[in-house]
Chains A and B, each alone.
Chain A
């Protein structure tokens, strides 16, 4: 790709970007949120047309006006949000739009089945071709997407954050797969925020910053700190531990709460100015616990106390009104109104809380201040949230709650899909809220993050508490052990 340029209204997304990819190589593409990685890949795949620049495949100039055209030239794009249709079977998903047809234009299901089975077997996947895609785990869905790329003999495979929802074991399987594809002479573009993966998976790394390519280096020539510096254009304090703080009185207390799904008999205390981390595997009930406190699924049994008074969450509206705030793990579907402005997205909750007439001018003044403090990068408060990067979107939701005011903040995956620089900013914002007396409960799959920001950690296993650790006691091994169910109750500070 040569001199690619693309401008969106108000934003220059790509400026004279050039990258090269050779057969039999894994190219890591890194950069902060909003650096232009996704836009560049959308250009390569014909989803977005560039304003300037050229694309060459095997030395031949190409112009893609749609995803299909790019696919026909041997480019496969595995997007961060997977594109499988849950209601269709694996085989139907694989051949969607390219089904082998009989002379009567009906689908040759037998051939579909056979070919799907072959490709799944070659990947070492134990999935029935007739299984509905919706029944597969995220990891298996990811593998099916890769199978799709192999099936149509893609020469170039683009993977955008493929591991954001995979377990370590699944990542290993993916790694072997990538190695095999590399040996077969395919070119792979690998996008990830996870530095360990970038270093262990790739041969070469290209770095984007603010829509420009700031350099390509062989993976061996660069170290972690150097790469982070290249991405951010400055030194980044990546490990940003929370200072020991004096926590206040108990703010929120759960007394043997039985909630939605598996959540059973959970008792925890949250103090003013404290960050309580909740560790747990996927399906351990960690999201359900937060959503129980927020009133999405009112508790079946048990008592809650907020600020010394009994508190019974019956709906998010009521929880919000009492001063509980929730930042969901799925920003787009549970958090944002993508077609609306930042102003509309942020002002909504405050409007509901105030129960008075909506006064746009007042909201604007106050949101302007919050937005500046959070460092939301956008042309203005009237810009649509759809045009913002992941980090900025997360800040918009945080701004919403700061604008509305809160006593307790529940955060589910505070930094999923967010780059190193912005992560640090988010941690800092959480610490600031702490200082103002807000109690924060954080759920995170990233153990390093949990250990770094929490004053105290409790673990959930199968919906029940399986451990509690003070900052001093907590380390990767013991927390992980508790998360995976090896009961070793350590008496913590609470």
Chain B
């Protein structure tokens, strides 16, 4: 009966698969190095996955709408460099700068969304070009040598703790609840799934599709800015090492592992376990002394395994259920 439900409800199937995958990876990791499973380390893992998790929420929304956002990595880098340079360690500057950066993010994402909606330029091309522009802007602004540092307030958000719990994890939980609510209950968020499944039908059903596309890309860029702010608070300085292309690819991987498709099928919530799995693998492999190359290979394998699981060709497939008497 439970198997039957899991087979028929795709979102349930995705969540069960993700949970099993996390348990499996933690189990294997625990066998190799037991100290990885200590509560302190698990909390540290959760903290590490916050910036990626935030960006992945935005990326998932874009993917569910049938597009892709290749500019999030550059926006994270931009946020980090601008935040450090403009705040320069001063608390009283923090809030204005944060507001300015959020507005800048909305402007950048909104521009991408506007041009995608109005001119029909493919999202991949538009956001790739935008990424290039932002990256060039970063270099121009910093002259290639970023300076400045985060303020104590920003450091509290990025690296502080309340008891044993990192502040960034608390921020993430609040943010995630808001986003999930938004994409389930509020029409601007909820219609995303419809745009991805059949853009034309959404238009003919009376959805203001162009405005929604602008919203979705602005949302994704805003999430990237938030992610960059948390990063800056943790690292404390501006650096070109933050964000970038690898980070953008990780956000796509998180969204896809989270069960999200370009056809509006999936659930934005999947991005959270998706980002956790990516962070988990990379952290474990790093602690085992396996280089970045190994992390890439492992990540690729996991993406394939998960997506095959969701499409139902193995695992909970009909044939197997039949044999089991389902």
Q: Are A333 and B201 in contact (CB under 8 A)?
A: yes
**How many Å lie between the Cα of A333 and that of B8 in the bound state?**
25
Closest chain-A Cβ to B173's Cβ sits at a distance in Å of 22
| Contact of A333 (CB < 8 Å), options: B194, B200, B206 | B200
**How many Å lie between the Cα of A388 and that of B275 in the bound state?**
37
B202: chain A residues at CB < 8 Å are 337, 348
A355: chain B residues at CB < 8 Å are 187
B201: chain A residues at CB < 8 Å are 333-337
8 Å CB contacts to B: which residues of A345-384?
A: 348-349, 351-353, 355, 357-359
Closest chain-A Cβ to B322's Cβ sits at a distance in Å of 10
Is B118 located at the chain interface by the 8 A CB criterion?
A: no
**How many Å lie between the Cα of A337 and that of B205 in the bound state?**
10
Contact (A352, B8) CB under 8 Å given A316-B204, A335-B201, A358-B186: no
Closest chain-B Cβ to A32's Cβ sits at a distance in Å of 25
**How many Å lie between the Cα of A359 and that of B190 in the bound state?**
12
B204: chain A residues at CB < 8 Å are 294, 296, 316, 326, 328, 334-335
B198: chain A residues at CB < 8 Å are 333, 336-338
B209 nearest CB neighbor, chain A only: A317
A348: chain B residues at CB < 8 Å are 191, 194, 202, 205, 207
**How many Å lie between the Cα of A292 and that of B28 in the bound state?**
62
Is A321 located at the chain interface by the 8 A CB criterion?
A: yes
Interface extent on B, as a size class? 20 to 34
**How many Å lie between the Cα of A147 and that of B186 in the bound state?**
52
**How many Å lie between the Cα of A359 and that of B187 in the bound state?**
11
Closest chain-B Cβ to A326's Cβ sits at a distance in Å of 7
Q: Are A320 and B186 in contact (CB under 8 A)?
A: no
Q: Are B208 and A317 in contact (CB under 8 A)?
A: yes
8 Å CB contacts to A: which residues of B203-220?
A: 203-208, 210
Interface string of A293-322 (1 = CB under 8 A from B): 010100000000000000000011101110
B88: chain A residues at CB < 8 Å are none
Is B243 located at the chain interface by the 8 A CB criterion?
A: no
Q: Are B8 and A351 in contact (CB under 8 A)?
A: no
**How many Å lie between the Cα of A335 and that of B203 in the bound state?**
9
| Contact of B193 (CB < 8 Å), options: A340, A357, A400 | A340
B185: chain A residues at CB < 8 Å are 357-359
| Contact of B206 (CB < 8 Å), options: A9, A336, A337, A352 | A352
A334 nearest CB neighbor, chain B only: B204
Is A86 located at the chain interface by the 8 A CB criterion?
A: no
Q: Are A316 and B191 in contact (CB under 8 A)?
A: no
A336: chain B residues at CB < 8 Å are 198, 201
Is B22 located at the chain interface by the 8 A CB criterion?
A: no
Q: Are A320 and B200 in contact (CB under 8 A)?
A: no
Is A339 located at the chain interface by the 8 A CB criterion?
A: yes
Q: Are A352 and B197 in contact (CB under 8 A)?
A: no
B193: chain A residues at CB < 8 Å are 340, 344
Interface extent on A, as a size class? 20 to 34
Interface string of B169-205 (1 = CB under 8 A from A): 0000000000000001111001101100110111111
Closest chain-B Cβ to A362's Cβ sits at a distance in Å of 12
Interface string of B248-265 (1 = CB under 8 A from A): 000000000000000111
Q: Are B200 and A352 in contact (CB under 8 A)?
A: no
Closest chain-A Cβ to B63's Cβ sits at a distance in Å of 15
A354 nearest CB neighbor, chain B only: B187
B197: chain A residues at CB < 8 Å are 337-340
| Contact of A352 (CB < 8 Å), options: B191, B263, B265 | B191
Interface string of A470-482 (1 = CB under 8 A from B): 0000000000000
Q: Are B205 and A349 in contact (CB under 8 A)?
A: yes
Q: Are A316 and B206 in contact (CB under 8 A)?
A: yes
A317: chain B residues at CB < 8 Å are 206-208
A294: chain B residues at CB < 8 Å are 204
**How many Å lie between the Cα of A410 and that of B106 in the bound state?**
38
Q: Are B265 and A339 in contact (CB under 8 A)?
A: yes
B203 nearest CB neighbor, chain A only: A316
B186 nearest CB neighbor, chain A only: A357
B206: chain A residues at CB < 8 Å are 316-317, 319-321, 349, 352-353, 404
Closest chain-B Cβ to A330's Cβ sits at a distance in Å of 9
Contact (A337, B184) CB under 8 Å given A316-B204, A326-B204: no
Q: Are B208 and A315 in contact (CB under 8 A)?
A: yes
A333: chain B residues at CB < 8 Å are 198, 200-201
Contact (A351, B187) CB under 8 Å given A316-B206, A400-B205: yes
**How many Å lie between the Cα of A339 and that of B193 in the bound state?**
11
B207 nearest CB neighbor, chain A only: A352
Contact (A334, B200) CB under 8 Å given A9-B8, A358-B184: yes
**How many Å lie between the Cα of A400 and that of B202 in the bound state?**
12
**How many Å lie between the Cα of A344 and that of B11 in the bound state?**
15
Closest chain-B Cβ to A351's Cβ sits at a distance in Å of 5
Q: Are A358 and B190 in contact (CB under 8 A)?
A: yes
Closest chain-B Cβ to A180's Cβ sits at a distance in Å of 40
A357 nearest CB neighbor, chain B only: B185
A320: chain B residues at CB < 8 Å are 205-206
Closest chain-A Cβ to B196's Cβ sits at a distance in Å of 9
A319: chain B residues at CB < 8 Å are 206
Q: Are B187 and A358 in contact (CB under 8 A)?
A: yes
**How many Å lie between the Cα of A315 and that of B118 in the bound state?**
13
A352: chain B residues at CB < 8 Å are 187, 191, 205-208
A358 nearest CB neighbor, chain B only: B185
A353: chain B residues at CB < 8 Å are 206
Q: Which of B191, B202, B205, B263 has the most CB of A within 10 A?
A: B205
Closest chain-B Cβ to A69's Cβ sits at a distance in Å of 20
Interface string of B262-302 (1 = CB under 8 A from A): 01110000000000000000000000000000000000000
Q: Are A339 and B187 in contact (CB under 8 A)?
A: no
B208: chain A residues at CB < 8 Å are 315, 317, 352
**How many Å lie between the Cα of A431 and that of B123 in the bound state?**
45
A296: chain B residues at CB < 8 Å are 203-204
A359 nearest CB neighbor, chain B only: B185
**How many Å lie between the Cα of A317 and that of B205 in the bound state?**
8
B263: chain A residues at CB < 8 Å are 339
B8 nearest CB neighbor, chain A only: A9
Interface string of B13-50 (1 = CB under 8 A from A): 00000000000000000000000000000000000000
A348 nearest CB neighbor, chain B only: B205
**How many Å lie between the Cα of A335 and that of B265 in the bound state?**
17
Q: Which of B204, B206, B265 has the most CB of A within 10 A?
A: B206
**How many Å lie between the Cα of A333 and that of B205 in the bound state?**
12
**How many Å lie between the Cα of A328 and that of B205 in the bound state?**
10
Closest chain-A Cβ to B107's Cβ sits at a distance in Å of 24
**How many Å lie between the Cα of A319 and that of B184 in the bound state?**
25
Closest chain-B Cβ to A260's Cβ sits at a distance in Å of 15
Chain A to chain B contacts (Cβ below 8 Å), 6 pairs: A315-B210, A316-B205, A337-B194, A358-B190, A359-B185, A400-B205
* 4 additional A-B residue pairs with CB within 8 Å, beyond A337-B264, A351-B187: A316-B205, A334-B200, A338-B198, A339-B265
Q: Which 7 A-B pairs have the closest CB atoms?
A: A320-B206, A317-B208, A337-B197, A334-B204, A357-B185, A358-B185, A349-B206
Interface residues of A (CB under 8 A from B): 9, 294, 296, 315-317, 319-321, 326, 328, 333-340, 344, 348-349, 351-353, 355, 357-359, 400, 404
